[in-house]
Amino acid sequence: MSSSNSEEKYDLNISFFIFLLAFLVLISASLIYSGITYLQDTSSTTTGMISIGLGLLGLVLAGYNLFRLQGRLSMIGRAPVGPQVLTREKCKSCDYEATRPFKEGDYVYGNGDPCTKCGKNELMLIGAIFLKKPPKK
Ligand SMILES: [Zn+2]
């Protein structure tokens, strides 16, 4: 239970981080935009340059952080590349068979998820739990 909690916290952190980055991009874009309008007014060229400079800095910062975040995310995505544990379940009413990732509490001849096909909301019977090797390149 504690492990799934920390995962949720981690997800929340990432979405908050993305929100901050989006905010940063928004501010940078408006800085650049106002900088350009300043530049058109020849009396405040310096203010325009500073504004555009700050905006570009913000964009670079956001891009850099996004790049790092992407690296972290792809590392998370790469994690389950090893053999995958799968659960095969079969509906007792309509014989519909489904295979899904194994989850805690699954056991052979135990109850699986409700059947999505016949709509009787009956729990399917777990027929097999097996390992699936990753596809070889
Ligand atoms: Zn069914």
What does the alpha-carbon distance between residue 94 and residue 46 come to, in Å, rounded to a whole number? 74
Ion ligand 1 contact residues with beta carbon within 5 A: 91, 93-94, 96, 115, 117-118
Give me the chain's average pLDDT, please.
84
Cβ count within 10 A of residue 72:
11
Q: What is the mean pLDDT of residues 55-72?
A: 87
Task: Give pairs for 88-92: CB < 8 Å, separation 24+.
Answer: 88/126, 88/127, 88/128, 88/129, 88/130, 89/113, 89/124, 89/125, 89/126, 89/127, 90/124, 90/125, 90/127, 91/115, 91/117, 91/118, 91/122, 91/124, 91/125, 92/122, 92/124, 92/125
Q: How far is the CA of 102 from the centre of ligand 1 (A)?
A: 20
Query: Which residue do the tokens 């699936």 mark?
Result: 132
Q: Is residue 77 pLDDT above 50, yes or no?
A: yes
Q: How far is the CA of 127 from the centre of ligand 1 (A)?
A: 14
> pLDDT, tens digit, for every residue of 84-130?
899 999 999 999 999 999 999 999 999 999 998 887 788 999 999 99
Residue 11: band (very low, low, confident or very high) from pLDDT cuts 50, 70, 90: low
Select the CATH number that applies to the domain covering 84-132 from these four: 2.20.28, 3.40.50, 2.60.40, 1.10.3470: 2.20.28
Q: How far is the CA of 113 from the centre of ligand 1 (A)?
A: 11
Q: How far is the CA of 90 from the centre of ligand 1 (A)?
A: 8
> What are the residue boundaries of the structural domains of the chain, listed by start?
2-80, 84-132
Q: How far is the CA of 92 from the centre of ligand 1 (A)?
A: 7
Q: How far is the CA of 107 from the centre of ligand 1 (A)?
A: 19
- pTM here? 0.44
Q: What is the mean pLDDT of residues 8-36?
A: 84
Q: Is residue 2 pLDDT above 50, yes or no?
A: no
Q: Is residue 20 pLDDT above 80, yes or no?
A: yes
Q: Is residue 80 pLDDT above 60, yes or no?
A: no
